[in-house]
Amino acid sequence: MEKKMGILDYETVALDDENSALVIIDQTLLPGEIKLLKLKTQKEIWTAIRKLQVRGAPAIGDAAAIGIYLAAKEIQTDNYEEFVAQFNKAKDYLASARPTAVNLFWALDHMARLVYQLPNSSVEDIKRVLRYEAGAVKADDIRTCQRIGENGLKLLQPGWGILTHCNAGQLATAKYGTATAPMYLGQQQGYNFKIYADETRPLLQGARLTAFELYSAGMDVTLLCDNMAASLMQQGKIQAVLVGCDRVAANGDVANKIGTSAVAILAKHYKIPFYVCAPSSTIDLDTPTGADIVIEQRAPEEVTAMWYKEPMAPAGVKVYNPAFDVTDHKLITGIITEYGVASGYYKRSFRKILPPHVLDNFSK
């Protein structure tokens, strides 16, 4: 009998070059339906990023790299200057999909730098370079997440209870996830973690995605409402908190899914280490503090009506629905990257652990 494919058997983001398509799992339908979307137009890719059909900072970066390659592939000119003009137009369009996740801009800028470095190459050669690099961005995402997992696992002990918020798992990356990478590697090594996943209102990424993928992987995972975390901490069931993020400011302030800051405050009160798992591509040394991060405001219907047969709020009531909040660096025990763990005075710590080729991407 043929084995039925589970969620972890699918690639979160993939390139179908033969059909000129970006292939993603439509995460708005999970866990009820696993549906692959083949996105062929820039509008479809933009919409998928905007509507969170593909989401999670690294996965958005992977999708952006593939998306801008597909845009370049469509450009019909042999003139370098005309190619660059059309490429930049497509780049700016994709960059407008979401304002907070820095990996979107990082991936687009990374691909653009390659184009700008090849003024004497043919357009076809440039397209081949972009095709190769789109694959390299995704492969690097996998290696990065594995290294984050290795660095994070060193900070944890077998049998610990670990709380996570939102989804920084395989569904947010090419593989392993960021905050979940130590969990996956710990499972391979017999750590027997007890994982607690906040449901993460209002879009329920913890319930629909994190609980779904970790349960599918055979982990000991328990789902809880966001306002139940303090109860678990009070009972001594949580020994560490691991979260991902969408942007890290130079001072170590972190923008992550709404509710993360509240979890960090609780962890501080109960003296529980609070770790942020962040690939170096998520660190933005050009953004001084969290106050400088643009926070996306989303539709009121996500709070009032999305998960209900009938609206669960009075018609016309004002709704506050930020996608993210900023966690103050003073609440963070450490930021786990693929290059090591930053802590303390983060601006200095980042420059200590990040290699020159990463630091060169930032303004001096």
Residue 198, φ and ψ in degrees, nearest 5:
-60, 140
CA distance 296 to 316: 21
**Maximum CA pair distance of the chain?**
66
Active site residue 246: yes
Task: Write down the catalytic residue from 141, 198, 246, 284.
Answer: 246
For residues 186 and 256, give the distance between their C-alpha atoms in angstroms, rounded to a whole number: 24
Place of tokens 């969620």: 7
Q: Under 8 Å CB-to-CB from 66, ≥6 apart: which residues?
A: 13, 14, 15, 22, 134, 138
- Residue carrying the six token digits 């973690």: 193
How many CA within 13 A on the CB side of residue 267? 29
283, 292, 273, 279: which is closest to 332 by C-alpha?
273
Per the CB < 8 A criterion, the answer to whether 255 and 322 are in contact is no
Give the active site residues. 246
